[in-house]
Structure 1
Amino acid sequence: MYQFFIEDEQVHDTYVTIEGTDVNHIRNVLRMKKGEKIRVSSRSGMGYFCEVDMITEQCVEAKILSLDETGTELSSKISLYQGLPKSDKMELIIQKAVELGVYEVIPVAMKNCVVKLDEKKAASKVKRWQSIAESAAKQSKRSLIPEVVQPMSYKQALERAQDCDRILIPYENERGMLATKEAVEAIEPGESIAIFIGPEGGFAPEEITNVGEKAKLISLGKRILRTETAGLATLAILGYQLESKEG
């Protein structure tokens, strides 16, 4: 069943309307017909099972059959603060993080980041990254499209993360999984979580020193993980923990 996203105002009492580029995709790529079933999510995260009723060049109308009562979102909003990686690694990170349930991705300029983005380059990159997030959200049947936030400094990221209930920092010099187990098991469904991931060069010592009392340093095991692996491993652990508690 194909997934589409619409604005809240495109949801009506008994039907939804799909507009924009998705209309061409439905008409000319998927070649969908009247009566086919689709899943539609509004920007606020409401999900609907629908049946295509009318297809024109400008829009698609679909009857609402039922609400998606269970949804596909984790109970906790997880923010991934990702140290800017080299080449196109960020695209892979965003795609897989969306599949694993991340709520938002925040690119962070850290001391050991090789990549430096000026304002113009950052705007172009974020537009591309947001498009990848939307595609991944459709593929994985998310109920919302995670946001890719404008890149920020490490100091700004730490200040922003203070609004979260939990802050987790996988750190290559942290040893032992017991503290990781305790930190993860203490998280309750509904609590907001920030994850900080260092770039290829890892965290600078002063960046770890300045994390604050709220942050918990955790280990992801005896092996050193690449920057594009560490955040995804943490998201997988958190997803398992949260969904296990939800039952």
Structure 2
Amino acid sequence: MPHIFYGQAKEDHLVLDRHETEHIKVVRLKKGDMIKATDGKGTLYTCVLNEIKKDRSTATIKKSKRVEEIPTEAEHTLCIASQGWGRLRWIVEKSVELGVDRLIIYKSVRSRSYKDKYNKVQLIVRDSAKQCERYAFPEVLFFEDFSFLNILKGNTVVLHKSGRPAELKDFKGRVNLIVGPEGDFTQEEANMLAENGTPISFGRKILRFETAAILSVGLVAFLNGKI
């Protein structure tokens, strides 16, 4: 993993929390060492470590540069529901690396709520962004139902076996991708989503939901120049 750290800017210095301090200790940095860090909002900082404590560290900012912009409105949104934490975690990690602007984690009839894992999801987003040297972190929202449909703008596609064959044009421009849980949508949910988006299918094979999610995110990333 590239040694990029996350910190909050406070005037002329950055404050790095316990999670980042553990990273500092793992790679055996010490006071006086130069580090690179981001605020997750698109700025890259060059800093000098001046304090390493048990639960936090501080670094003096020597230089800062705006290297990535956060879109005023999300261009590419992935909406996911899942029964299993392991699969959800994997999707979050890979979709951040592939450049999604916003992640919406929602609850359907056949999935569970993940509001209790808000902090864990944020750490996964942070570490994944640092891994690929991404300096503007994606927004993460949690919903207990399908009311997230009200905030989506642009082309919305629903990945479902009943949909028409997918075309490359489905993944160009502003796109919202909706992926259902392992046990599929209920018929009522599928009907509602068909009224709010375009159901599409990847063809003859029935893919696991996480496979379909990453395939679609990868297409969006490639066709829109995000990787």
Normalised-by-shorter TM-score class: 0.7 to 0.9
TM-score (norm 2): 0.80
Matched, 1:17 2:14: yes
1:50 has 2:46 as partner: yes
Q: Which residue among 176, 201, 217 is the counterpart of 1:194?
A: 176
1:173 aligns with 2:162: yes
Structure 1 CA distance, aligned partners of 2:29 and 2:76?
35
Query: Which residue in 2 is equivalent to 1:135?
Result: 127
Structure 2 residue matching 1:149: 3-state secondary structure? strand
Q: 1:229 to 1:36 in 2, by over 3 A?
A: same
Alignment of 1:30-69 (within 5 A): 30-33=27-30, 34-38=32-36, 40-43=37-40, 45-52=41-48, 54-57=50-53, 59-69=57-67
Q: How does 1:204-223 map to 2 (within 5 A)?
A: 204-211=186-193, 215-223=197-205
User: CA 1:230 to 1:85, structure 2 compared with 1: closer, same or farther past 3 Å?
Assistant: farther
Say if 1:197 and 1:227, in contact at 8 Å, map to a contact too: yes
Pair 212,227 (structure 1): closer, same or farther in 2 beyond 3 Å: closer
Determine which structure has the larger strand proportion and give its number.
2
- For the Cα contact (< 8 Å) 2:21–2:52, is it kept in 1? no
The runs of at least 4 aligned residues of structure 1 exceeding 6 Å deviation read 72-75
Out of 150, 158, 161, the position equivalent to 2:142 is 150
Task: Give the whole-Å Cα distance in 2 for the aligned partners of 1:19 and 1:222.
Answer: 49
TM-score by length of 1: 0.74
Q: How many residues align?
A: 222
Corresponding residue of 2:7: 6
Distance 1:56 1:127 in 2: 23
Distance 1:157 1:53, change over 3 A: closer
Distance 1:170 1:36 in 2: 46
1:53 deviates by: 5.1
- The separation in 1 between residues aligned to 2:89 and 2:129, in whole angstroms, is 14
Match of 1:159 among 145, 150, 153: 150
Q: CA deviation at 1:82?
A: 0.9
Measure the CA separation in 2 of the matches of 1:22 and 1:110.
Answer: 32
Question: Percent of counterpart pairs with the same letter?
Answer: 20
Alpha-carbon distance between aligned partners in 2 of 1:165 and 1:229, rounded to the nearest angstrom: 23
The one-letter amino acid of 1:141's match is: E
Q: Deviations over 1:30-70 (max 9, x none)?
A: 222434342x2224x1221414253443533244445253x
Please give the root-mean-square deviation of Cα atoms over the aligned residues, in Å: 3.0
